[in-house]
Amino acid sequence: MKKEWTIVTGGGSGIGLKLVKKLLKEGRHVGLILRNAARKSELLDAEPGLSRYEKLDYFFADLSVQIEIKAVAQEIINRWPKVDVLFNNAGVLLEKPAFSAQGNEMHYEVNTLAPFLLASHLRPALAKSETPLIVNTSTDGIHYIRKLDIPELINPKKFRKLFGPYMYSKLAQYLIMKDSTEDNGQSKVKYLFVSPGGNKTKLSTGKGMPGWMKLYVKLIYKSPSYGADLLWEAAFNEDISFNSGSYIQKSKAIKIPLTLDPIKKLDLLKGVNI
């Protein structure tokens, strides 16, 4: 099977869990990165059916801790023959500023740096695949942002739910990872950035959402299966093809006008401590 060996972050609930189940039912080999062993126990208590899948491997890392990202990537490299698809699906949407072990604001740490670092450290495993692919879970609307205030992203002086650090961290994820694909032109790894649309998940129904959006989420947002299907489609639907670096919303590639110059790229990478 092409693209058999798949890694999923944020697969313990919501869109990621639906995606994991879909991949397993297709017979693909899934590596699920969870925060710790306790989270695995909680997941299996809630989803006992997962225990019957022999092709489900568990890996552990707190994605807000950079040294753990490096360690889990090395474990995957040691245990697996290759990685065909990396689904960078984990993310945070918080109600107030929080800071990581590295001292970075948490949206910037988990939504921007973590997927970038995991992809970088997994490059040896991806290089062994014939068609290596990285699918990053993005969000609607980042193509409307006309300026990325990097100092404000890294250490915000003001905080807006959803439309502040969260949106900017997703835009920064796109910019820094797309820039890396262009800098590394000899690489055969394909990068896609997929918005799953509005889904009823722990993030969208949590305290990080503005109060005025709660009714909208309740009435309009879809089941997490909807977002999982969009991620799956980008990775495996052979009837649809997107160029590397595409930002995809509602199954269509949309142009993002912003780019990174070398100085801004270095500024975004200041939060990397390994």
In this prediction, residues 180-190 reach a mean pLDDT of 69
| Average pLDDT over the chain, rounded to an integer | 95
Evaluate if residue 185 carries a pLDDT over 60.
Answer: no
Percentage of the chain beyond pLDDT 90 is 91
Q: What is the pLDDT of residues 51-73, one digit of tens each?
A: 999 999 999 999 999 999 999 99
Question: Looking at the 3D structure of the chain, how many domains does it have?
Answer: 1
pLDDT of 99: 95
Q: For residue 190, give the nearest of 250, 131, 253 by alpha carbon.
A: 131
- Model confidence band, residue 186 (pLDDT cutoffs 50, 70, 90): low
Is 232 part of any domain?
yes
Element (H, E) at 118: helix 114-121
79 membership: H or E segment, kind and range: helix 66-79
Residues ≥6 apart with Cβ < 8 Å to 126: 82, 83, 86, 119, 132, 134, 189
pLDDT at 182 over 70: no
Predicted pLDDT at 184: 52
- Cα-Cα end-to-end distance for the chain: 35
pLDDT tens digits, one per residue of 198-248: 999 999 999 999 999 999 999 999 999 999 999 999 999 988 889 999 999
127: CATH? 3.40.50.720
Phi then psi for 84, rounded to 5 degrees? -85, -40
| Strands of the 246-249 sheet, one edge to the other | 56-60, 29-34, 5-9, 85-88, 133-137, 190-194, 246-249, 252-254
- On whether residue 209 sits in a domain, the answer given is no
pLDDT at 155: 84
**pLDDT band of 19, cuts 50, 70, 90:** very high
Q: What angle do CA 153, 121, 133 make, to 5 degrees?
A: 90
Q: What is the Cα–Cα distance from 215 to 127, expressed in whole angstroms?
A: 45
Helix (H) or strand (E) holding 88: strand 85-88
pLDDT of residue 179: 83
* 82-138 tens-digit pLDDT: 999 999 999 999 999 999 999 999 999 999 999 999 999 999 999 999 999 999 999
Domain carrying residue 77? 5-197+224-271
